[in-house]
Amino acid sequence: MIQIKDLSKIYTTKERVVKGVDNVSLNITTGEVFGIVGYSGAGKSSLIRCLNLLEKPTSGEIKIDGLNLMKLRGRKLRQARLKIGMIFQHFHLISQKTIYENIAFALRAAKTPASQINKRVTELLEMVGLADKRDVYPAQLSGGQKQRVGIARALANNPSVLLCDEATSALDPNTTLSILRLLKKINKELKITIVLITHEMNVVKEICDRMAIMQDGKVIEEGAVYDIFSGPKEELTKEFISSVVSFDVPSAILNKCTGRIVKVMYKGDVAGEGIISDTVQQYNIKGNFLHGSIEYIQEIPLGIFLMELQGDNQEVEKAISYMSSRASLVEVIDHGN
């Protein structure tokens, strides 16, 4: 369990005082993948760097497995940090060292006995799929391969927590997906808690269990990823979700619509039911699909559709009422001409 309580980080310059993290409290459950989302300047990088005290918080508490990091000093703090691995956006590999040496460096820094280093590095290279790259240098690797080395290095000392600071932002979409799948595999097999910061909702949708949205140093919304995708409360959250699930219909098409335009949302198993087809068959209306899709979040379907309903007003009202009784949400967004 990671417990963050009333955490603040204030940066002071000659010109002004900036609250990078503003009184944030979060509980992250052992073994989950927790996403922290926000635009540049939202405070998410400051928050994650406070978790291993790369940035010293101005105030508040950080407890990992019951240990208050804010009260540790010297050797005890260094030992606690060994249980917190971190991977970065730009890899931070040592260009003059081979892949083997990059990973071994983390073990030597932790004073791992020399007799154990070769076995551990070999295990890690196999885990991240780079067993054949042990003697090459970072310049000879692709971006995705470099990040795999970064992951192996972060796992070297068997951490209980893995912090990912925009770990996929420098990668193309296909490579991003492969890295996210590797992180999910590590999370499941090693039971490591992962805290992942990003500005990309596709990343959160792919592997996170829960998430928090940050703005101006504060957490403005928090919850299970599925719940936030299916029922966002804050405007910023809705903006982020629209980057993944977009339902903008061209105005030229909307201008041709004469019926009522409704938004229909299905959650869970309901998304697989034929609600719309049942509605059109039971009532004397015509239904035209304008836009829609079914997303799978944590393997649970979330369906959202925009459609135009044409016909007698009473029949349309009955159809909307029927859909409302079966769907999670039915919202009339245009009453037609």
How many Cα atoms are found within 13 Å in the side-chain-facing hemisphere of 200? Answer: 17
Residue 336: its pLDDT value, please? 64
Residue 220 CB partners (closer than 8 Å, separation 6+): 213, 214, 234, 236, 237
Which are the contacts of 57, defined by CB distance < 8 A and separation ≥ 6? 7, 8, 9, 21, 50, 70
Neighbours of 105 (CB within 10 A): 17
The edge-to-edge listing of strands for the beta sheet with 285-297 is 285-297, 300-311, 260-267, 329-334
275-289: pLDDT as tens digits = 788 888 888 888 888
Residue 335 has pLDDT above 80, yes or no: no
Mean pLDDT of 142-155: 95
User: What mean pLDDT do residues 249-278 have?
Assistant: 78
pLDDT value, residue 204: 93
Domains located in the chain, CATH noted: 2-242 (3.40.50.300), 251-334 (3.30.70.260)
Question: Using CB atoms within 10 A of its CB, is residue 198 exposed (0-12), middle (13-18) or buried (19+)?
Answer: buried
Beta carbons of 35 and 56 less than 8 angstroms apart: no
CA torsion angle 139 140 144 145 (round to 10):
-110
End-to-end CA distance of the chain: 55
Question: Average pLDDT of 135-153?
Answer: 95
pLDDT in tens, 184-214: 999 999 999 999 999 989 999 999 999 999 9
> What is the chain's mean pLDDT, rounded?
90
Percent of the chain whose predicted confidence (pLDDT) is above 90:
56
68-112 pLDDT tens trace: 998 888 888 888 888 999 998 888 899 999 999 999 999 998 999
pLDDT number for residue 273:
61
Q: Which residue has the higher pLDDT, 91 or 133?
A: 133
229-256: pLDDT as tens digits = 988 899 999 999 888 876 667 777 777 8
* More reliable by pLDDT, 213 or 313: 213
Q: How far apart are CA 21 and CA 40, in angstroms?
A: 13
Residue 271: band (very low, low, confident or very high) from pLDDT cuts 50, 70, 90: low
